[in-house]
Amino acid sequence: MVRLALILAAFCLITWPCEAGKLGPEIYDTKANGKILVAEAIQRAKEENKHVLLEFGANWCSWCHLLHGLFASDRAIREKLKTSFVLVMIDVNEDRNADLNVQYGKPTLRGLPVLVVLDAEGNQVFTQETGAFEKGKKHDPEKVLAFLKRW
């Protein structure tokens, strides 16, 4: 798994344009227990009749920062997330939260970031590698929104 993380880190850094390696503030809580985050999200999803969207990633991943930025900056995506999902960002750097990765079928083998959709009961509904959302050196907002609208 460490080898995979190093390969993904190299890929992200090579394929994403960034200023002198600056990716911005950390977007994943490296100290958070993913199982607790997911349990809380499932409880909230039940109460609010929403799905849970797990975003597996790492702070070194430029594509993770791009997707996070799109989630925050695109009004339609931000609203769809707010009304339909409970978002959980799960740090998987250096095998953190490896138990969750295994629990959800090792989605990180598809690259980072990777999304896993759960229903309000916590059942896994779908796994999506985010390379399908790419358009050049960014994620296509229309593709991301179409994915979110499926659930």
pLDDT at position 6 is 40
CATH number of the domain enclosing 80 = 3.40.30.10
> Is the confidence at residue 9, as pLDDT, over 50?
no
Which of these ranges, 21-25, 73-77, 85-89, 95-99, has the smallest mean pLDDT? 21-25
Domain encompassing residue 60: 2-14+26-149
Q: H or E segment at 125?
A: strand 124-129
Q: Is residue 21 part of a domain?
A: no
Asked whether the predicted pLDDT for residue 12 surpasses 80, the reply is: no
Residue 19 lies in a domain: no
Please report whether residue 82 resides in a domain. yes
The token pair at 90 is: 């799960």
Number of domains present in the structure of the chain: 1
DSSP 46: H
Rounded CA separation 131/80 (Å): 20
Confidence category of residue 19, pLDDT binned at 50, 70, 90: very low
pLDDT of res. 23 = 77
Give domain status of residue 46, yes or no. yes
Task: Kindly state the average pLDDT of the residues 58-82.
Answer: 97
Residue 20 lies in a domain: no
In the chain, pLDDT over 70 holds for what percent of residues?
85
Residue 11: what pLDDT? Answer: 44
